[in-house]
Structure 1
Amino acid sequence: MLLRRVDINGQPAKIIAVDSGVTTAASGITTAKAEPVKIVPASKSTVTVGFDLPHKERGKDPVTAQIQAPIDARSNMKSPSPVLPANEETNKPSKSKEFKAEAALKEYEKARGGGKDLLNLLVIGHVDAGKSTLMGHLLYKLGQVPQRSMHKFEQESKKLGKQSFAYAWVLDETGEERSRGITMDVGQSRFETKTKSIVLLDAPGHKDFIPNMITGASQADVSVLVVDSTTGEFETGFESGGQTREHALLVRSLGVNQLVVAVNKLDTASWSQERFEDIRSKLQTFLVKQAGFRPDDINFVPCSGLVGENLTQKSEEIKLSKWYTGSTLLEAIDSFRPPERPVGKPLRLTVNDVFRGPGGLCVGGRLETGMVQCGDKVLIQPIGEIATVKSITLDDMTGNIAFAGDPVLITLLGVADASVISIGFVLSDPNYPIKVSSRIQARIVTFDALSVPITKGFTGVLHVGSMSEQVVIKKLISQLHRGTGEVVKSRPRCLTKNVNAMLELEPSKPICVEEFKDVKELGRFTLRSAGVTIAAGVITKVY
């Protein structure tokens, strides 16, 4: 596990630590039946999240249509009873039968009603597309990087013969990242636009660090896809097995449905409109027809991270301004619609960092649903321990409360052995705990990257949020029609590329998951094998 920090305006901004290893769970979990949970939806929003598109739009979204269709038919089915640890008086479920969402929604309106909308923005793209340089230069132009620090980066990078990496060093802080010239972990920093407060997540592009990128994608609301427009480089990243395609498929399958495509390094093509339009045409077709984005949710912006053109101000480059009159990169980011925040649901906080701090055990992660306050009791699953929230750090400042969508650092009291907590664990409301299961039913869509047919006994790695766990395909239930979701073949012998199917998965250890219809943030997943992403899906039943 690697912890890094970036100094912005002289203040340390925490970098989320990520770990591509497999989550482990403690043994000896005993369970007892509890009352079924009735989860009250959050307040209505015009923004849909992830695969939960309006029915009339599903035909326009291949990935959504293929996975979501039969889920609606199951929406009235009763969920399995939640699981709680037995034999502990403090762990008994509440007498309350129904989660009360009103209080959480009132607190959210009181605390956030008058502020800027929070957006978790993930920057993705093929290795060497210029992601870190682009966003580092953007932060510099916004005044987030002191001139003294920028001068230091320039001098140090020049000594190493890597002067063009100076802006990338704003985000790539570690010595190994700087010496290798690539991002390895998900870096985090913050900036503001006119109407948004942005948490910037800079994801690695190299294929060896895709698991780290997935961790970042699981925290994202929206994304910037950076492509290198240099002749031959775009083709390498997009058409020759590069990460442009895989990253786009990953973020879409993990719930991101708004995208800005930064056509970077266009200065190397003399700001050619023809080159820009060629890239836009190829990417638009792929993003809409294969990845499942809607055309209105994609914005293409020509720019250059190295020279800083068209980032925060309209370009003064004559070769560009004579044909491009659209938005700057900053304006495009500001135009993202704020996502739905499921505050009115029971607490779910995914753990992506664990360390011992001066105040006690610290757990970093993202609130997927609900809210948390100092003094609250939380249930740590799958180990079944109860802890108390001592303090909450949000935006590098200590506070008393945090809401769905917030990246937070929480100090816990009452954990007997901190070493048993791992990345991928979930903190939940003790009265409405997250499910812990060793068998799930899911609907998946397979991708082009699938090289070997999926059969019974097939093994892969399941990614849900920051959790990754090896799974075995226990049963192929049915193959489904890609458009209607109807069963076209029961108990197929195998699954090939670009098909829809229902199947049963068995993780090697108990994992924390939810049914997609209840908690979308923890009910969607990706499936990887042999270093590539072969499928995405949603969980339809937790046994």
Structure 2
Amino acid sequence: MTTTHEVGAAVTTAPADASAPAPRHDLLRLATAGSVDDGKSTLVGRLLYDTKSVLADQLDAVERVSRERGLDAADLALLTDGLRAEREQGITIDVAYRYFSTATRSYVLADTPGHVQYTRNMVTGASTAELALILIDARHGVVEQTRRHLAVTGLLGVRHVAVAVNKMDLVDWSRERFDEIVAEFARHATRFGIDDVVAVPVSALFGDNVVDRSDRAGWYAGPTLLEHLETVPVGTDPSAQPLRLPVQYVIRPQSADHRDYRGYAGRLASGVVRPGDEVTVLPGGRRTTVAGIDRARADGSLESLEVAFAPQSVVLRLADDIDVSRGDLVAAASDPGLTTRNLSGTVAVLSERPLRQRDRVLLRVGTRTVRALVDDIVDQLDIMTMEQRTAPDGLALNAIGRVRLRLAEDVAIDDYRTLRRTGAFLLIDDADGSTLAAGMADAPDRSVGEGI
């Protein structure tokens, strides 16, 4: 049986017995986002403190600094704003990863900045997240930066969104104000293809509905924030996805005992593999079968496996002696995806150097890096109107836009909406190696084209 609280397009669902144990102790990766002064650092600090994930010496240091500032209680925001410059300014300026656990689940939390000029940092933090935790100040409601965070969340394919409507104590725990904010948020979320939105009214400063349920919002029947994090579905069934293994190393031991050994090492991006499975090596397209699967032990020796699945790091041995090198992709023969020299996709610009048409860059997909040309900047997303508009001369820092690229060599790449890990790419400055933009590929173009 479930308890449901519905507001507009947002549906909040919690188990009737939130204390029931989960079937296994699994891992949830989440990223936080919020505008400046929404109370994000305080909320994260409250999660850490109330789940007893703070070491005694850390808490002592926070209490000491809080007293020096004339505060009556510990400022939990100091648990997350760890850099001296951040503490002095009272802001978060970089992505920081926090780790905590409960009896049912472990968490990796990417705490991202709220300032507009650090939107690029959210791209980094949310790129591996399964859930985005977006804060909204109850007094200000949905603002431009909220829409920007929603855009990034949708483009990165983050499946779940939790909305913490914070500082509810400053609006007298008004249900009408909460409903108004959540309804507007849900309308924007729908435009970015986000349909799993759970909203919780909280006061991070006092801990209301963060870990412990508040008695100041009797009208709210949904879960606390932690109860929702405990129960949101985690992970994707690897067997439901096609095999993808970007080759990172070719292993050829020089010892006499392993003179004939040849293995291809990498981390499984998706899928399941077993000895005897038929695979295709891209971009060359040669087909073969898996002769064996090995995994490194702690002492450096190898053990054989009967099955491996994402995200394990393994070594594949192939039945045929074919040309395989770093940057190749071992894929399921039944669903190998496509290779292309013409690529289109959406990019988020991470560099202060604008991305311009006719720029020559490096494109990195998985472990493969090739030369590329920015053939066209199609358009740019207008965060205020949520509409695509004609792009200016270039895409500046934090801009989100669609581009077309021509590549010097074939690459194997998937539609990002289908396979996140093998559908993502980076654009790199070929002069200094800095990252220019992070991209999400559209369905690959089957035509090879002329390249560059």
TM-score normalised to structure 1 length: 0.50
With over 3 angstroms needed to count, the CA separation of the structure-2 counterparts of 1:285 and 1:255, relative to structure 1, is same
Residue 422 of structure 2 corresponds to residue 522 of structure 1: yes
SS in 1 for 2:215: coil
**What's 1:80 paired with?**
none
Does the 8 Å CA contact 2:424/2:439 hold for their aligned counterparts?
no
Task: Report how far residue 285 of structure 1 moved.
Answer: 1.1
CA 1:431–1:135 in 2, change beyond 3 Å: closer, same or farther?
same
How far apart are the structure 2 equivalents of 1:460 and 1:519?
24
Hey, what's the Cα distance between the residues in 2 that align with 1:440 and 1:342? 29
**Does the 8 Å contact 1:254/1:525 carry over to 2?**
no
Deviation at 1:330, TM superposition (A): 0.7
Who is 1:505 aligned against?
A: 405
Give how far 1:166 is off.
Answer: 2.7
- In the other structure, the counterpart of 1:186 is 95
The Cα shift of 1:160 comes to 4.6
Instruction: Report whether the alignment pairs 1:262 with 2:164.
Output: yes
1:222 is aligned, of 115, 131, 136, to 131
Residue of structure 2 equivalent to 1:169: 78
Quote the Cα distance in structure 2 between the aligned partners of 1:157 and 1:511: 57
Determine which structure has more spread, i.e. the larger CA radius of gyration.
2
RMSD (Å), alpha carbons: 5.1
Contact 2:33 2:40 in 1 (8 A): yes
Q: Distance in 2 between matches of 1:218 and 1:467?
A: 19
Distance 2:68 2:371 in 1: 44
CA distance in 1, matches of 2:128, 2:50: 26
Question: Quick check: 1:305 aligned with 2:201?
Answer: no
1:223 alignment partner, SS class? strand
Q: Distance in 2 between matches of 1:301 and 1:463?
A: 39
Cα distance in structure 2, aligned partners of 1:516 and 1:127:
34
Looking at structure 1, the residues matched to 415 and 116 of structure 2 have their Cα atoms a distance apart, in angstroms, of: 28
Corresponding residue for residue 224 of structure 2? 328
Paired residue type of 1:176: A
CA distance in 2, matches of 1:143, 1:267: 24
The answer for the alignment partner of 1:100 in structure 2 is none
Partner of 1:292: 193
In 2, the alpha carbon distance for the partners of 1:369 and 1:200 equals: 22
Q: Secondary structure at the match of 2:415?
A: coil
Residues 249, 431 of structure 1: alpha-carbon distance in 2 compared, 3 angstrom cutoff: closer
Partners of 1:147 and 1:455 in 2: CA distance: 51
Task: Return the alpha-carbon distance in structure 2 between the equivalents of residues 342 and 221 of structure 1.
Answer: 15
DSSP-derived class of the 1:347 partner:
strand
Please point out which of 291, 306, 310 is paired with 1:404.
Answer: 310
> Any idea what the Cα deviations from partners look like across 1:297-332, whole Å, max 9, x if unmatched?
111100011111111122133xx22x2121100111
Give the residue type in structure 1 aligned to 2:207. Answer: G
Deviation of the 1:263 alpha carbon: 0.5
Instruction: Point out the structure with the larger helix share.
Output: 1
Q: Does 1:275 align with 2:195?
A: no
What amino acid is aligned across from residue 156 of structure 2 in structure 1? L
- Give 1:218 deviation, angstroms: 0.9
Give the AA of the match of 2:192: A
Q: Tell me the residue number matched to 2:114.
A: 205
- Give aligned pairs, total: 339
Q: 1:466 to 1:161 in 2, by over 3 A?
A: farther
Could you say which residue in structure 1 is the equivalent of 2:63? 154
Relative to total residues, which structure has the larger strand share, 1 or 2?
2
- Determine if the alignment matches structure 1 residue 538 to structure 2 residue 436: no
Please list every run of 5 or more consecutive structure 1 residues that lacks an aligned counterpart in the other structure: 1-59, 61-112, 351-364, 373-387, 393-399, 411-425, 447-453, 479-492
Kindly state the Cα deviation for residue 200 of structure 1 after the two structures are TM-superposed. 1.6
* Structure 2 partner of 1:53: none
Q: Please show how residues 12-161 of structure 1 align to structure 2 within 5 Å.
A: 115-160=24-69
Q: TM-score scaled to structure 2, two decimals? A: 0.59
Counterpart amino acid of residue 520 in structure 1:
R
Query: In the alignment, is the contact (CA less than 8 A) between 1:252 and 1:293 conserved in 2?
Result: yes
Kindly state the Cα deviation for residue 207 of structure 1 after the two structures are TM-superposed: 2.1
Provide the residue aligned with 1:6 in structure 2.
none
The alignment status of 1:474 with 2:378, answered yes or no, reads no
Shift of 1:132: 2.0
Whether contact under 8 Å (2:326, 2:367) holds in the other structure is no
* Counterpart Cα distance in 1 of 2:346 and 2:161: 23
What code does the residue aligned with 1:151 have? D
Tell me how far apart the structure 2 counterparts of residues 286 and 533 of structure 1 sit (CA, whole Å). Answer: 24
1:380-430 CA-partner distances (Å, limit 9, x unpaired): xxxxxxxx99788xxxxxxx9996358x9x9xxxxxxxxxxxxxxx98777
Are 1:369 and 2:248 counterparts? no
Q: Secondary structure at the match of 1:198?
A: strand
Q: Which residue in the other structure is 2:395 paired with?
A: none
In the alignment, which residue of structure 1 is the partner of 2:258?
none
CA distance in 2, matches of 1:468, 1:163: 55
The one-letter code of the counterpart of 2:147 is R
Distance in 2 separating the partners of 1:196 and 1:138? 14
Name the CA distance, whole Å, in 1 between partners of 2:410 and 2:74.
Answer: 40
Q: Is the 8 A contact 2:245 2:330 kept in 1?
A: no
How far 1:512 sits from its partner (Å)? 7.7
Q: Residues 429 and 524 from structure 1, CA distance in 2 versus in 1: closer, same or farther, beyond 3 angstroms?
A: closer
| Structure 1 Cα separation of the partners of residues 71 and 311 of structure 2 | 37
